[in-house]
Structure 1
């Protein structure tokens, strides 16, 4: 506040001390203009009023208020100050609306993408959601975990498209997984249940011709038993996970990957489960294609598997921090697509 007030005092003193033919009063507009950069509309209006009062004082000492020059200066300063105050009001309203939108978006994210707990039985878990836009909070990428009697089940997926349709599809799949994960003993039955739920969802969105725009979702469904050092995976068109064992990184490719969820017109869909060793100390990294399809300035994809081996022995949380920092350096700017990273470590019993 001292800066605009100092400007008002300085300009007034110099103007009053100057010859009558020199007019510095118009410079008083700088005071409300500066105030608008850090204060609200009320404080800006107060400084504008002080600046107008100072212009009146200058007019009294410089030939009186009746001169047309001083009347024009006072009127112009009043109008400009009013415009600046109006701008502050519009800016405050925009900030309030943005804060409300952020609050709603964060609430939606908490409902859809519930934070994964740090511990799930013998598993230590960390998750990272990277938004393609600074103000984004939710999108088509999804993940969830559920504790069952024998262990932990997880899903990570990526819905085709962006915006509200993608959020609606992701919400449907997350809700279906959280319910069906407790009602099916095997992953093939769970994947089939997710496919049926997603197809019912798409049929409700079909138009008058019975067709709906192409919408599907890649997904990876995992079962990590507490008592066995293995992980069972059913892959529905999703990028395969990576296994970090010491400084060695291996890709867990599915023997027979299934098509993405939402292929409702494909007959005789079958889902296979692959079993991989997942021993204490191993780290499993799940991700969406927004990570591996991020490019640098030379348009080269981010080599996630190669970079993962440079951080052996890291905890899931530290591993994701290193990956996030390295990805930002590699891309050199914002991501073009949302991305999810989930690190899972099996700890000794």
Structure 2
């Protein structure tokens, strides 16, 4: 996207009107100076005009206002009798202020370009780590939102992905400890392993083992590079949708927030984090077990990171997730729409903390696509899921 189309400028009916405030200020100073007595000469205030333009206009517009301020100063000051004129000293002040305003405007625009470039890099990184997913993918319908605590960076350590494979569809949601590029790099390493293992491996326990191994390898590598990542870990939930059991799912929880099954019969909590986070498996004597739990066709799976459950209001109160879900789930209304759930939780969290996120926040909802009789799943090909 071109820089000129992305700048935050004052616009009215699609047209740039950033030049209006400095022009009104110029006219106001002139009129006030000409309609007051010699005891209230304010023509020198015209130095504010190029300064205002520098804050909201482009370089050439600022230069025009700087020149216009100098010319206007000379004309208006000359209209007064000699003994009341501001004189050469103020003229130099106005000219110098205009010059500095042009320089300041150029510096501001350069910083804005650099900021937008950094944001473009962050957005590209985010889309690489959290690859875009079709709304209906691998037999699942889903919706997700990711809110970075650092609004400018727009990228952090939360992650999620869906991977269709040879043995069913797998879902991976998690949160890397820490912030910054180190957390992003760790999330990318885990997602890369998940996409390969989730596609090829038959047993979900094997996928979990591959993820644990990848986390340990990544930590050893970053430590060897001299970085302080030796104790980094990640909480995560690994979920499998077995092809041979459409009424159940498999869950491996690495110390993450418990997934919620939301349906017409209410909200129920699936197995909580009975295992240690990824990277700490050796401390707990092994990996967390694989739980096979019922999951009805009319239920929607809701997963959130601790940015949701630990969001606080001004009084320090945590976000009441269970209370927010109640109005969104009407008894007997059928399966909860993933986007409705995600939107409800997102808006509720932002409202609860007044938009001041202290941690990266991810909300992800998914449900099986229910096919009509005789209708083939568009994601199936010869009994195997495409990718």
8 Å contact kept, 2:47–2:69? yes
| Aligned residues of 1:132 and 1:337 also touching (Cα < 8 A) | yes
CA, structure 1 residues 323+90, in 2 after alignment: closer, same or farther (shift >3 Å)?
A: same
Matching residue of 2:90:
73
Q: Match for 1:309 among 297, 317, 326?
A: 326
Structure 1: gaps (5+ residues): none
TM-score by length of 2: 0.81
- Are the aligned partners of 1:242 and 1:305 in contact in 2 as well (CA < 8 Å)? no
How far off its partner does 1:197 sit? 1.4
1:36–1:149: structure 2 CA closer, same or farther, 3 Å change rule? same
- Indicate the larger mover: 31-40 or 101-110: 31-40
What's the counterpart of residue 49 of structure 2?
A: 31
Would you say 1:55 and 2:77 are equivalent positions? no
Partner of 2:355: 333
Task: Identify the residue that residue 92 of structure 1 maps to in structure 2.
Answer: 109
2: distance between equivalents of 1:315 and 1:210?
A: 43
Partner of 1:191: 208
Q: SS of the residue aligned with 2:199?
A: coil
Cα shift readout 1:37-70 (whole Å, capped 9, x = no counterpart): 4311221111110110122223544467xx9952
Cα 1:156–1:57, aligned 2, differ >3 Å: closer, same or farther?
same
Moved more, 69-78 or 94-103: 69-78
Is contact 1:223–1:232 with CA below 8 Å preserved after alignment?
Answer: yes
Map of 1:246 onto structure 2: 264
Distance of aligned partners of 1:214 and 1:79 in 2 relative to their CA distance in 1, 3 Å threshold = same
- Deviation digits for residues 218-276 of structure 1 (CA, Å, limit 9, x no counterpart): 1111111345221111111111100112151111125x833211126548524421111
Checking the alignment, whether the CA contact within 8 Å between 2:167 and 2:200 is kept in structure 1 is: no
1-side partners of 2:36 and 2:354: how far apart?
55
Q: For 2:200, what is the secondary structure of its paired residue?
A: coil
Alpha-carbon separation, structure 1, partners of 2:349 and 2:312 = 9
Q: By how many angstroms is 1:104 displaced? A: 0.4
- 1:102 corresponds in structure 2 to 119
Moved more, 30-39 or 121-130: 30-39
Counterparts of 1:310 and 1:45 in 2: how far apart (Å)?
57
Would you say the 8 A contact 1:281–1:347 is kept in 2?
Answer: no
Q: Distance in 1 between matches of 2:337 and 2:123?
A: 27
Residue 237 of structure 1: aligned partner: 255
Total equivalences in the alignment: 347
Distance in 2 (alpha carbons) for counterparts of 1:72 and 1:124: 72
After the TM superposition, which of the residue ranges 79-88 and 90-99 deviates more from structure 2? 79-88
State how far apart, in whole Å, the 1-side matches of 2:308 and 2:226 are.
37
Aligned match of 2:296? 279
> Could you tell me which residue of structure 2 aligns to residue 348 of structure 1?
370
Deviation at 1:203, TM superposition (A): 1.2
What's the C-alpha RMSD, in Å, of the aligned pairs?
2.8
1:324 corresponds to which residue? 346
For the Cα contact (< 8 Å) 2:308–2:361, is it kept in 1?
A: yes
Question: 2:132 aligns to what SS in structure 1?
Answer: coil
Kindly indicate whether the alpha-carbon contact (under 8 Å) linking 2:166 and 2:202 is maintained by their aligned counterparts in 1.
no
Residue 44 (1) aligns with residue 62 (2): yes
Q: Is contact 1:199-1:264 (8 Å) kept?
A: no
TM-score by length of 1: 0.89
Are the counterparts in 2 of residues 4 and 35 from structure 1 also a CA contact under 8 Å? Answer: yes
1:132 aligns with 2:149: yes
Shift of 1:2: 5.0
